[in-house]
Structure 1
Amino acid sequence: MSSPSEHQVTAAKAPVEVYADNAELANWTPSEAPPPTTGPNIQRYVSALNRFKWLIIVLTAIGGATGYVATRFIEPEYEVESNITLDMSTAGGGEGGPITDGASLDKTSWVDLLKSYSVVDPVVMKQQLYLSHKDAADSVVFRDFSINPAQLVPGDYVLKVDGRGWSLAPSAGDYPVDSGAVGDSIGANRGFLWQPSAQVLAGHTEVAFTVQTPREASRAVLKNLVTGLGTGKAPFLRLTYTGRNAQKLASTLNALADQFTAEAFAMKSIRVKYMATLLEGQRQFAEQEMQKAESQLETFRVRTVTEPNERQTAVAGGLAMTTPAVMNEYFSMQVAVQNLQRDRANLEGLLTASKASRTGLAPEAILSIPSINTDPAARMVLQRLGEQNARETELAKIRETRMDEDKEVKLAIARLDTVKSIQAPRELEAYIAQIKIKEAALEKQIAVSGAALQDIPKRTIQEGQLVRAAREAEMLFSSLDMETQKARLAEAATIPDIQVKDSAVPPLRPTKNTAPMLVAGAVVAALLLGIVLAVLLDQTDKRFRYPEQATNDLGLYILGVVPVIGGKGRRGAEQAAQVVETFRSIRMNVRYATEPGRALTLTVTSPGPNDGKSLISSNLALSFAEAGARTLLIDGDIRRGELSKTFGTPSKPGLVEYLDGSALMDEVLQPTASHPNLTIIPGGARRRRAPELLATPKLPQLIAQLAREYDVIIVDSPPLGAGFDAFALSTATANMAVVLRAGITDRKLAKAKLATVDQLPIRVIGTVLNSIKLSGAYQYYSYYQDYSAEDEETTPTPRIAGRSESVEISVPASRT
């Protein structure tokens, strides 16, 4: 391995002053190690992303391709709309009949009706929304497909047609649940109403489909249906329906709107018809009562036509001023008592008749009694009758879609019977008891007032009663007759309260295309995955790569950073100049990191092979020689050292021969042609037991003796992981510098070996970082090229140790 050196100096050149007497180092002591930095290192993350950029690019490309492929399997989403006009002109504010309220539904009730299963379920059945199949070509097979909801067995099925027969089996198993000849009914035991002909099944050998219950399909429809209400007397109800099939969406929404209109019209028709029927019953009862009152008045007048009347009767003296008031009060109380008695008798008769017939109270008859409608005490009776009407309406509505044997119909009948037979009669009995109390109170008052009216003919009072009864009956009949005519006209001219304003139209383009978002999401996800993976790989990388790993993890000073040299021409020269400046800095840092006032003795080692320790030690020694220091370079790697080849000196005798006593010191000191101030001691002959010689006292004695003759002694030792050689050599020199190579050095190995060094009398002065790209975290370790030192005359290109022309550093990998 080789490295650049400074320009050669002559042998006669004297050492510089700093190495002559160490005057400038006499009072200087090295500082303590800097504290480790904390917090996230953004520059490290950037370097990691740059190092794994191709991994990130490949993952991003794969993510984009995956997203693009995924878009082929995702169908676009369409959206259809429809507008329905709601007639709110009579909602909650119109004039109803004499008994019941005829107001339309409010806004929220319309939405509730739209989302009711009575509207959605028929649409599901009509549009076959309970059925789904993957292949569009199979749609002709299911053209006449239908189901019996009561017997349906939902699930995934496969129909296989073979020749003249077919078999139906669940998708999860091979055992058929039904089979038969082509043309027979298919899946009758599964609840299917399906009998395709041979022509329809022609060309279809296997048909896969899924059947679900209509209620489940209705829930799916309601899930994709969005409603919006406007304001005003005729607001719009906006329907929005989303899905995958544009044609199916439009037909489904239009069917839903039509079913909604039909259901609303049916509800209104039932309500109007019920109102007309109720009013007609009341009108007929009132007509009978009016005819009865008129007949009684006519009979009375015919019977008393020849008898004297009130006008022929003289009034006793003193009563001229009191008779009218007394008579009016008497007549009023008498009429009130008679009305109460009549109403009570009618109510008791109706109550007795209902109990005898066990059919419950007749609302029309009860409501035709005047006191029921005018007396506040009859409020609970009216409330029960209204509840009875509601129960009857509910029962009629349920019977439209269900048979009497249905459980829900029976439950509705039971609720109606409870109101008619128990609750309503109980309230009526309580009201009759109150009427009796009122009768008793009025009769007492009449007895008191009767004394003042003893001289007034009874027939006059009776006639007045009959006239009033006839007049009241006529007024009641007229009112009910008018309301009945209105109800008949409303029934004849019934129109829906809602109208479809805008029908749904199949859209040509999807309203929601997830393909771009899917591709973008896949790219972003893959990019984030690549970034996370790059950071994770960087965090788990056991190799040395960043300067803070040397300072924080290993606790070492950075003596210098040796850049990578790989360029040619001008670029190679610039890189060589960078290396020269680097070794100048390393030389200065090493000199000031050791004990002043004595020769520099330093062992250069590394945690493992291929870290470049020989490169650093040889070029550092050459740099000291260039600076005028008498420098000795010892090849302490007696296992694989090749410094003799680098500097062109004999490989033996060397350190091994000196330590075993077979050679003298003068014989092992080899001058170099690279610089007159540089001397080398080669490793010597390779021997299996040569490492044992490093443990003898002769090694520290040799270093101590040479320290008196040389200013700088640098020992190139084997790696720390090779054995105890590096520890023995470092103990002899008392100083150690560790070489860490980016991307090669194992940090865990380095940390373990440095822990062993801490137990020995060795001072680790720092580390030299080798093979570093001066970018990213190392960008500030470079030097300005435009500010380099130059001679006025043309100077030769800086040379590399062991090379005279090339600026490339190349040392056998196994020898670094």
Structure 2
Amino acid sequence: MDQGNLPLPSVPSGQQALSTPPAAPAAGRFAFADADLDHEEGGGGGFKRMLGAVLYYKWLVLGITAVGLAAGLLLSRHANLSYTAEARLWVAGVPDRNAQMQGPIQSPELLRGRAWVELLGSYAVLDPVVQEHRLYLRFRSRDRDVMAGFHADSGYTPGAYSLIVDETGAQVELHEERAGLIERVPAGSPVGAALGMRWNPPRQLLTPGRQIDFRLVHPRAATRYVTQAMDANIVGENFLMLRFSNENPELSASILNSLATQYVEVAAELKRAQLEEFRDILERQLTYSEENLRQAELALENFRVQTITLPSDQATPINPGIEATRAPALSSYFQLSIDREALQRDRNSIQRLIATASTEPLSVDALTAIPTVTQSPELMQALTELTTARANVRALSQQYTAEHPLMRQALEQVNRLQTQIVPQLASAVVASLDARLSEMDRLVTSAAGDLRAIPPRTIDEARLTRAVQSAAALYNELRGRYESARLATETTIPDVRVLDFASVPQFPSSNPRIQILLLALLGSMGLGIGLAILLERMDPRIRYPEQVSDGFRLTILGALPNLARTRRGSRAVDRAEVVEALRGVRLSLQHAYGTAGPMMVTVSSPGPGDGKTFLTTNLGLAFAELGRKTIVIDGDTRRGTMHRLLRIDRTPGLTDFLAGRASLDQIIRETDSPDLQVIPCGTRLAASPDLLSSPRMGQLLAHIRSRYQVILFDSPPLGAGVDPLVLATATGNIVIVFRTLTTNKAVAEAKLAMLSQLPVRVLGAVVNGVRSEIGYRYYSYLPGYTSEDEEAGPSARLLEPA
């Protein structure tokens, strides 16, 4: 029935009007109040929803967490601890120049910087340690007694093997995983000798039917294990820290001590080999220089023997010990000629050696035998470095292959010196010789005319004498170097020493059990929280205020806390909180309705069990306690239960009046409150939906609007039929009741969409049965602030079901 067709009588004198009913919205519009209480929490609503879900499903979360923690505890028992042993080594540094000049003769350091760490990862260091500790062998702990005497040669065959004792215990068979049966031998005999095994299992341990499974891994795989478990760092300039981690603390310390010892031995052997190679090279150069000196002295001696009978060209001495001075021109010519021949000879020798350097190894001995070369400090330094580099290559080749980083680095240095640096420096010497030869040719030509008659004997003798002097100087220098190298070889000290050997670690360096427990705890807790949030997201029921305010675009007029009931009834504290909540709903409803005419509102809900009857009745009581003349009408003609809440008779009631069976005075009932009257639903009639739209309904509304300030209709649920829509249209206003964890969101959305097609103003929503832990904490009230009479005790009145 259209409310606009009903008469609107004036309020009788002596009665105060709460408000005048506002104009109903146009048909097809869905009107809402302007206030939006949902945004009080700001951006933290999502977090509070998740927290509410966790609290609601707390036992599920705790159960999953407990199961995950138990599983983590079980796994942690099988986790292995890691023990790290540490050792400290001293590495010799580069002595300064003053120490080299003042101290004893010593050899240069073997390696520098990170090269010491690279040496630690070489097979020359790792392979003996792998063999000593049998790191190539894998077997089960129960077979430790049989495998105690197992050893393998360096050329063993890797694979997965099984030693099987027959039923009589007289023979054993060695099987390989892929090849099958390898050999069958009597028990107590050596096994696997053809495969590189040195193993004679004790006969008393070979019980009939016993099977021993073991695996021989490749040597390189075993060394990789050592490399992965080992860590080396250079501390400062002269200390090398070694660490090794293993599940067995004793084995960890033992392997690290073996590594340190083998490392020192390999470094000492490398240095010894380098010094011996350097000494041998100098010895060969000394032999070559000695032969050159002997040939030069022999040539000078033969020349003097051949020219002993010729007249001497020297002047007679004037005083004893004083020789006559030769003419300056003669001396200059002889000296220039001798020097030019020496320079030309040196130049030709250098060019010949450079030309052959690209096809064959450069002869350092031949170059150092050339006098002009010895006068070039840069070239002699380069030749010394080439000699040292070749010695280093020969020493390293005894320990490494050509592919090793240290070997490649040494070969690259030799190649660079031989093909680039030495030829460049030699070419520079040749260029300087060419310039000097050109100048000498000019000087010799100018003096040749004056000296043509002088016999060449003096020139030849001076040339041979100079050759002897040059060969003697080179021989003496090489002799000194050789003696220094031999002395350094005999008195060398190692560049690496062990300062602190590793001791058995007492405490684990890493404990994965704690990590496993933490991961299990966090993972299971995360799984439980995720499952709780997922269940909350999938829940079709209304749980949070955002679902009402944001989802349905409704203003929340208030929230009624959950009223826990027991056999003895509800608690007084809970009843007081509900009364305070009803007062808040009353205030919000007054504000949402307006200030004109009597308040006439229909109260409904999307489905049954949402508490609309409880709200309508107690809200009427709240208005009555405020002194407002209030009437509550049970419009749920199908299943109305307001009479039970008020403990009155159901008939006669609303349907009886609409059907003409009772008068208005007969259906209006008094209550304990003088300002509250009630009309029950009346007799159940099949035509009750049509009666709600009858003319007598208009007469009823006109009568009660003239007598009451607050008129509340309790209608059936929105999903019960047309009844709530008819009552909402008649009153022009409606309040929707939602119950947390009960009201279905999809049903509520569909029913609210039907209201949008009617001229009804939705004043807002009331959320019933809320719990503070699921998002409505800010709707609760502070404890201890209930209103009560000081003498008579609590004065809060609440109508509850019997």
Partner of 1:475: 473
Residues 152 and 192, structure 1, Cα contact 8 Å, conserved in 2: no
Distance 2:484 2:383 in 1: 26
Q: Distance in 2 between matches of 1:82 and 1:688?
A: 99
Aligned position for 1:642: 641
Match of 2:582 in 1: 583
Q: Which amino acid aligns with 1:76?
A: L
Return the offset for 1:507.
1.0
Paired residue type of 1:640: R
The corresponding residue for 1:51 is 56
Kindly tell me: are residues 327 and 225 of structure 1, through their superposed partners in 2, closer, same or farther at Cα, counting changes over 3 Å? Answer: farther
Cα 1:478–1:271 shift into 2, 3 Å: same
Question: Take 1:537 and 1:48, find their aligned partners in 2: how far apart are those partners?
Answer: 8
2:550 to 544, 552, 556: 552
Q: Is there any run of 5+ residues in structure 1 with no aligned partner, and where?
A: 1-16, 96-100, 802-808, 812-816
Q: Identity, % of aligned pairs?
A: 30
**1:733 alignment partner in structure 2:** 731
Match of 1:73 among 75, 78, 91: 78
| Aligned 8 A contact 1:652 1:668 in 2 | no
**Structure-1 residue corresponding to 2:370:** 369
Determine which of 36, 39, 42 is the counterpart of 2:43. 39
One-letter amino acid of the structure 2 residue matched with residue 594 of structure 1: Y
| Counterpart-to-counterpart distance in 1, 2:513 and 2:206 | 37
1:226 aligns with 2:236: no
The worse-fitting range, judged by mean Cα deviation, of 781-790 and 339-348 is 339-348
Structure 2 counterpart of 1:285, one-letter code: Y
Shift of 1:188: 8.9
Gapped regions of structure 2 (runs ≥ 5) = 1-10, 24-30, 102-106
Q: Is the 8 A contact 2:17 2:598 kept in 1?
A: no
Q: What are the residue-to-residue correspondences of 1:705-724 with 2, within 5 Å?
A: 705-724=703-722
In the alignment, residue 505 of structure 1 is paired with which amino acid?
A: S
Q: CA deviation at 1:754?
A: 1.5
Alignment of 1:602-617 (within 5 A): 602-617=601-616
The one-letter code of the counterpart of 2:724 is A
The Cα shift of 1:238 comes to 1.7
2:262 maps to: 259
Give how far 1:586 is off: 3.4
Contact 1:558 1:769 in 2 (8 A): yes
Task: Report whether the alignment pairs 1:238 with 2:238.
Answer: no
Could you tell me which residue of structure 2 aligns to residue 82 of structure 1?
87
Structure 1 residue 652 displacement after superposition: 3.3
Kindly indicate whether the alpha-carbon contact (under 8 Å) linking 1:121 and 1:218 is maintained by their aligned counterparts in 2: yes
Change in 2 beyond 3 A, CA 1:94/1:128: farther
User: In the alignment, what sits opposite 1:665?
Assistant: 663
1:198 positional shift: 5.8
- For residues 703-729 of structure 1, give each alpha carbon's deviation from its aligned partner in whole angstroms, at most 9, with x where no partner exists: 344434444433222222233322222
Matched, 1:21 2:15: yes
CA contact 1:638–1:690 (8 Å) conserved in 2: yes
Give the Cα separation in 2 of the matches to 1:121 and 1:224: 15
CA distance, structure 1, for counterparts of residue 483 and residue 191 of structure 2: 56
Q: Secondary structure at the match of 2:274?
A: helix
CA 1:387 to 1:462, structure 2 compared with 1: closer, same or farther past 3 Å?
closer
Equivalence for 1:757: 755
Question: What's the offset of the Cα at 1:56?
Answer: 4.2
Work out whether residues 774 and 782 of structure 1, in 8 Å CA contact, stay in contact via their aligned partners in 2: no
600 and 161 in structure 1: CA distance in 2 versus 1, 3 angstrom threshold: farther
Q: CA separation in 2, counterparts of 1:597 and 1:52? A: 47
Counterpart code for 2:16: N
Q: Residue 560 of structure 1 contacts residue 586 of structure 1 at CA under 8 Å; is this kept in 2?
A: yes
AA of the residue aligned to 2:342: N
Measured at CA, do residues 768 and 208 of structure 1 come closer, stay the same or move farther in structure 2, by a change above 3 Å? Answer: farther
- Report Cα offsets for 1:555-589 as digits up to 9, x if no partner: 33333333333489999333333333433443444
Aligned to 1:498: 496
Secondary structure at the residue paired with 1:743? coil
Contact 2:17 2:597 in 1 (8 A): no
- Which string of whole-angstrom CA distances, capped at 9 and with x for unpartnered residues, describes residues 246-302 of structure 1? 223222222222222222222222221122222222222222333333333334444
Contact 1:392/1:416 (CA < 8 Å) preserved in 2? no
For the 8 Å contact 1:296–1:466, the answer to whether it is kept is yes
2:114 aligned with 1:108: yes
Name the SS for the 2:231 alignment partner: strand
Q: 1:23 to 1:638 in 2, by over 3 A?
A: closer
Residues 633-642 or 420-429, more deviating: 420-429
What is the Cα deviation at residue 306 of structure 1? Answer: 4.8
Deviates most, 197-206 or 271-280: 197-206
The one-letter code sitting in structure 2 at the alignment partner of 1:278 is I
State the AA in 2 paired with 1:113: L
Task: Tell me, yes or no, if structure 1 residue 778 matches structure 2 residue 777.
Answer: yes
Q: 1:297 aligns with which of 289, 297, 300?
A: 300
* In structure 1, distance between residues paired with 2:708 and 2:461: 158
1:420, distance to aligned residue in structure 2 (A): 14
What residue is the counterpart of 1:6 in the other structure? none
Taking the aligned partners of 1:19 and 1:161, their CA distance within structure 2 comes to 117
Deviates more, 1:467-476 or 1:344-353: 344-353
- Name the residue aligned to 1:141: 147
- 2:741 alignment partner, one of 740, 743, 751: 743
Given the two structures, how large is their TM-score scaled by the length of structure 1?
0.78
1:280 and 2:283 equivalent?
yes
In structure 1, the partner of 2:203 is 199
3-state secondary structure, aligned to 1:751:
helix
Moved more, 18-27 or 137-146: 18-27
For residue 536 of structure 1, report the CA deviation from its aligned partner.
Answer: 5.0
Q: Secondary structure at the match of 1:482?
A: helix
Deviations 1:727-767 (A, max 9, x none): 22222232222222222222332233222112112222222
Query: Equivalents in 1 of 2:425, 2:625: separation in Å?
Result: 128
1:120-131 correspondence runs (5 A) = 120-131=126-137
How many Å separate the matches in 2 of 1:407 and 1:556?
Answer: 79
SS at match of 2:765: strand
TM-score by length of 2: 0.79
Task: Answer yes or no: is the 8 Å Cα contact 1:608–1:745 preserved in 2.
Answer: yes
CA distance in 2, matches of 1:80, 1:579: 70
SS at match of 1:714: strand
* 2:219 matches 1:214: yes
SS in 2 for 1:39: helix
String of CA shifts for 1:438-463, please: whole Å, max 9, x gaps. 77875664354343335655444444
d(CA) in 2 for partners of 1:416 and 1:715?
104
1:112, CA displacement in angstroms? 2.7
Does 2:501 correspond to 1:508?
A: no
Paired with 1:325 and 1:736, the residues of 2 have a C-alpha distance of: 140
Moved more, 288-297 or 779-788: 779-788
CA contact (8 A) 1:544 1:743 kept: yes
Whole-Å Cα distance in 2 between the matches of residues 454 and 229 of structure 1? 73
Quote the Cα distance in structure 2 between the aligned partners of 1:746 and 1:489.
101
Residue type of the alignment partner of 2:223: S
Give me the whole-angstrom Cα distance separating, in 2, the residues matched to 1:655 and 1:417.
117
Deviation at 1:490, TM superposition (A): 2.5
Please say if residues 169 and 177 of structure 1, whose CA atoms lie closer than 8 Å, have aligned partners that are also in contact. Answer: yes
Distance 1:771 1:427 in 2: 98
Residues 63 and 523 in structure 1, CA contact (< 8 A), matched pair in contact too: yes
Aligned AA (2:605): S
Contact 2:316 2:324 (C-alpha < 8 Å) held by counterparts: no
CA distance in 2, matches of 1:676, 1:230: 96
